[in-house]
Amino acid sequence: MTSRQAAGTPRQGGAAAVPPRRRGSRRWKAADTDRLLPAWLSRTALVVIALVVLVPVGYMVLLSVTPNAQVALGDVSLSGFRNYVAMWSAAPLAAGLVHTLIIAGVAAAISVLLGLLAAYPLTRMRFAGRRAFLYSLLGSQTVPQPTLLLPLFATFSFIQTTIGTHLIGSYPPIIFTYMTFGLPLSAWLLVAYLRTIPRELEEAGLVDGCSRARALRRIVLPIALPAVVVAFVFAFLVGWNDLLFASVLTNNSTQTLAVVMQGFDNTQANATLPLYGDLMAAAVVSALPVVVLYLVFQRYLIRGLSAGSMTGM
């Protein structure tokens, strides 16, 4: 690296000429302007925190390839790869996975659709209550989720007895719930992104005689597709991660992966040979898609949310 970094001592007093840096240049070079902490503190903190993060994650991965009998004794080994095969029969994981994909996927798709529909008038029109609408979407996030559980359950029960169909435990209530939980983030993301799409594009279409709705579908949607994809991913994660609502609103034929995992753990607690190796393997499979999706898309999420702001990320 540069000789300045090799020297290692912080510069005390005495101005140094700082070379001009091109804004947004990708290949970053360390410079004195970035040093906010003494090097020893910086490095120690980085290493310690990295270790603290790695230990449980590493332990989970190691246990997932350790045979169950050895896990019960507290040992770790690498001879238990068959856990990844046995786990599918140890608990209804495949069913849980399928249900989660359906429930979270459908909920996310509708969430993004409604979010886009809402984002369009919010960015293209001025009307009374526009700001209030946006802020109330935000405000909804301060409502504690557990609080919503009982009244939702009561509402669905009420509809169930009024209409006469079996509602709780089927797909619609849980999909509707997750869809709404993902709505504020979808809407905000699409609002931020739509704002950066020039209005001239739709106005060209409007001049040619198509309606606003048509302009949204034919012109804006294709351009907003990146934001739509990102919004879909994060709305999807809402359904994948939730346990509280799934444990109440699903039954044995619609249980999500989270519910299956919790049930799996519950049954192992008092077993003679707890299948903790299988459990950890299932945990890795439950977490891996989320981690991958998140790491890939989080950059776009931040970029999308700050689109058009002056922060220049």
> Dihedral (C-alpha) 175, 176, 178, 182: value to the nearest 10 degrees?
130
Kindly indicate which of the ranges 10-18, 77-85, 88-96, 219-227 contains the residues binding other proteins, using the contact rule CB under 8 A. Answer: 10-18
Distance (Å, whole) CA 183 – CA 168:
22
Query: Of 281-310, which residues contact other proteins (CB under 8 A)?
Result: 283, 286-287, 290-291, 294-295, 298, 301-302, 304-310
Distance (Å, whole) CA 146 – CA 148:
5
Spatial CA neighbour of 240 closest among 198, 292, 197: 292
Kindly indicate which of the ranges 84-92, 218-226, 263-271 contains the residues binding other proteins, using the contact rule CB under 8 A. Answer: 263-271
Q: What minimum distance in Å lies between the beta carbon of 21 and other proteins?
A: 7
Query: Of 50-109, which residues contact other proteins (CB under 8 A)?
Result: 50, 52-57, 59-60, 63, 71-74
Per-residue interface string for the shown chain with other proteins, residues 196-235, x marking contact by CB under 8 A = ---x------x----xxx--x-----------------x-
> Which of 69, 94, 138, 201 is in the footprint of other proteins by CB under 8 A?
138
Residue showing tokens 């058009």: 308
Q: What minimum distance in Å lies between the beta carbon of 91 and other proteins?
A: 12
Please report the DSSP string for 77-105 in residue order. Answer: -S--TTHHHHHHHHS-HHHHHHHHHHHHH
Q: Which two tokens stand for residue 101?
A: 């994909």
Count of residues touching other proteins (by CB under 8 A): 140
> Which of 140, 251, 252, 253 is in the footprint of other proteins by CB under 8 A?
140
- In a 13 Å sphere around the CA of 220, the CA atoms on its Cβ side amount to 30
Q: What minimum distance in Å lies between the beta carbon of 261 and other proteins?
A: 6
